[in-house]
Structure 1
């Protein structure tokens, strides 16, 4: 498969379900962000001070939850836990939704902190699959300022090295570091507009509203 689409938790459930249904027959794999479930883990972590590994593992389990629930809303989606299952489902013409906790249990090379979210974890899974990563979120891409600032402008293309100075944007802080390490690119697009996602999958980012983050 050529692409892994990460459906952001901010799109769950309605926009996420619409996007997932639109991906039928495209041959892509999907992984989901933890959404509100992961936000609750972060909230209770601030109150109780869990260990970094406990919070990290729990946030990954939240990705399982959203993925399992989302796949239930789409007849063409199948929840999977291994790369082998993922490839089998793609081969059958359906859309695999990866539940990543088992996959990342022994192959998780990232730091355990809130700098790392489902964005970076999705990039790791895309690397395992030999696929390109498209992050579908609730904004159009990376901006010069955090929306809804009146002077925020969409950045159509940016190097991961330059993005390092931005901190947390619509993607997590660790993602640019991983893009540089893995020498790969990723795309960030608004998942509320499935046609934009489909255009990128079919023809790349040319003339599509999105941000390309280069790992060079």
Structure 2
């Protein structure tokens, strides 16, 4: 398994289902963002002030929910909970959709805060698998300004060290720290265009419109 593809909650359900179907045969592992379900947890946390561990665990469970629902829409996928089940699903001809709560219960390397989202958690899983991470979201990549600012320009290549000063962008704040820690790169691409995702999986960043975040 060369790739972990994180399908952002902003693509759920319709764009996410199309992309998951297009990943048939690519031998990649899919992880879903928590989407509206995680946003609801965050909303109630702002009102009630739950503990960091409670909201972190709840947000991971939201990733399970979107993954389970998304897989139900795509016959070529199979939900899995362990790394071995990921490998078994691929061997059986399915695209594995990892429900990460069980795996991350004992192996989660990230802090428990809203600086950490499914982006960083997907990177942690990719690190366990020795795979590269592609984040499919609803924008083309990382921009100089937050879209829809008229002067926002797509950044095609950026170091994780430089990204540290950006704060939260189309990826979470903790992601560049983990990329540096793991000495890993990741790719951010617009998942509304599955052909862009497939081009990167097959040919790397030179294949299309995206941002490469370098962990060197």
Deviations 1:129-163 (A, max 9, x none): 11100000000000000000000000000000000
SS class of match (1:148): coil
* Map of 2:9 onto structure 1: 9
* Map of 2:63 onto structure 1: 63
Matches for 1:85-100 after TM superposition, within 5 Å = 85-100=85-100
* Map of 1:119 onto structure 2: 119
SS class of match (1:170): coil
* Map of 1:42 onto structure 2: 42
Distance 1:98 1:132 in 2: 15
Q: TM-score, normalized by length of structure 1?
A: 0.99
RMSD across aligned positions (CA): 0.5
Deviations 1:13-59 (A, max 9, x none): 00000000000011111000000000000000000000000000000
Distance 2:21 2:4 in 1: 15
Give structure 2 stretches of 5+ with no counterpart: none
Matches for 1:62-211 after TM superposition, within 5 Å = 62-211=62-211
Deviations 1:155-203 (A, max 9, x none): 0000000000000000000000000000000000000000000000000
Distance 2:79 2:212 in 1: 28
Q: TM-score, normalized by length of structure 2?
A: 0.99
